Amino acid sequence: MATDISTFEGRRVLVVGDLMIDEYVWGDVDRISPEAPVQIVNVEREEYTLGGAGNVVNNLAALGADVAVAGVIGTLADGDRMLAMFSRLSADTGGVIREPQRPTTRKTRIIASGQHVLRIDRETRQDISGATFDRLNRFIAEKMPETDVVLLSDYGKGLITPPFIEKLLETAENYGKQVIADPKGLDFTKYAGVSLLTPNRKEASLASGIEIRDRETLCRAGEKLLATTGIRNLLLTCGKDGMVLFERGKSPKTIRAEARQVYDVSGAGDTVISVFGLAVASGLAFAESAAVANTAAGIVVGKVGTATVTRQELAAALRRFPDEMSSKYKSLTEISEIVRDLKKKGRKVVLTNGCFDLLHAGHIMLFSASRQMGDALIVAIDDDASVKKIKGHGRPVIAAQERVRILSALDSVDYVVVFSTEALDQLIEIIRPDVLTKGSNYAAEAVEGHALVERLGGRVALIPVTGGTSSSDMINHIKNAGEEL
């Protein structure tokens, strides 16, 4: 697949739905409470992310869309926190209405020693007030003319009622806009008239009354939903089995998923509707849009917690013949997200850094041994200006771009970043390595950054490297050989 997602940039999307905050509390368990037979979680950190329709907004913003939001939150601290998060995404919150009697929906997940042990929900499912109904619909009517696509994210919290959907679809119809909905509940007739509905397999089974056991029963369920609910098209998501697209007048089309390790399915449906909607807004057909959304969902389920897919990740995954450099080379922003996700999974991160101007056997030994010390090896290389400053005139012999390509070809190397020597402390702060490695030709106390690594809870490891070969020796040998000729 060679879909160009640069067309996603600047697409105007209106997100209407149930707004939530997902709170993650991370900690360790080492004892049982004396008060009751329950685990005691020693909290290490807390994290707040946008959930529900808010996660749809987050996904869209990560892919460069221009997003307007319509929904309901409370007036207390969680509502303030949500508006602040939307502000950081530059989302238009003119349609976010605050109701004094309504709490902002918050789902708290307790994760102890890498295991999800408890979830606490704070919410109400009470219908919104008549005044809120009117204010939301005025905002939607104002935004509709400039909107490329409308995404409806229903989590059953009292906003997406049949009268509300009916009014929204009437407004969308007047302007010829497509409405794509992620459903909740058993009665899909409330979504009659939407351009496309995106239930998962379980939801489709319950709503159709057909137990889905195989492709035959899945197709029967999909066709029944199309025939009886009034929805125009259906994208049935099937987890590791991909998706099946049902379009009126066409045979069902299966979009198969690539085999991936699944860590967390939280928010995968939000990613599907976000990417599908952006693809449709960019002019792609439903079948191609579904394929792009399927690829994005495959990326996001490999992350822990409510997560998004970045433009770089999606672009790389969509290339028919991925460039190894593109997949391993990361910016400091990207490596920060990758490291955060690795540590959520309990993975150990190893960092080694240097010029690596000409690779030799000692370097290969360093990388191989470093990789064995953890679950992911990040190789940070000095940029060209830094190498020249460190090594002198005529260096580097090989420019940073080519050094990245060479390092990316090594199986022992998971990620490569380029940095300025003066920014080593910043690099360490971002990565916070469990282990910083260097060759045994260094003394531990002489390793640049060792004090900061240790202060952050990591350690320095010296890798025994045999032989006296160095890049400088190799370069000098080549120069001398050339002069002799």
Q: Is residue 28 annotated as a catalytic residue, yes or no? A: no
Cα separation, 354 vs 483, whole angstroms: 29
- Can you tell me the distance from the alpha carbon of 307 to that of 58, in angstroms, rounded to the nearest whole number? 9
- Strands in 243-247's sheet, in edge-to-edge order, are 92-98, 66-73, 12-17, 149-153, 179-182, 196-197, 233-237, 243-247, 253-255
Distance of CA 9 to the CA centre of its chain: 17
- The span from the CA of 274 to the CA of 240, in Å, is 19
Region label for 242, one of left (φ > 0), alpha (ψ between -120 and 50) or beta (otherwise): left
Q: Which of 154, 270, 382, 414 is catalytic?
A: 270
Q: Enter the tokens of residue 263.
A: 């860590």
Tokens of 438: 């260097």
Q: Is 272 helix (H, G, I), strand (E, B) or coil?
A: helix
C-alpha span between 254 and 261 (Å, rounded): 21
Cα 356 to Cα 400: distance, rounded to the nearest angstrom: 9
| Residue 344 annotated in ligand binding | no
Q: Which helix (H) or strand (E) holds 182?
A: strand 179-182
Please check if 202 is assigned to a binding site.
yes
Task: Report d(CA 106, CA 122) in Å as an integer.
Answer: 5
Is 9 marked as a binding-site residue?
no
Q: How far apart are CA 125 and CA 130, in angstroms?
A: 15
- In this structure, the dihedral spanned by the alpha carbons of residues 180, 186, 187 and 188, taken in order and rounded to 10 degrees, is 20
Cβ atoms of 167 and 43 within 8 Å: the answer is no
**Residue 44 marked as a ligand binder:** no
Q: How many helices (H) and strands (E) does the chain have?
A: 17, 18
Nearest-angstrom CA–CA distance, 347 and 231: 44
d(CA 302, CA 260): 7
What residue numbers does the annotated binding site cover?
200-203
Catalytic residues: 270
What residue numbers does the annotated binding site for ATP cover?
200-203
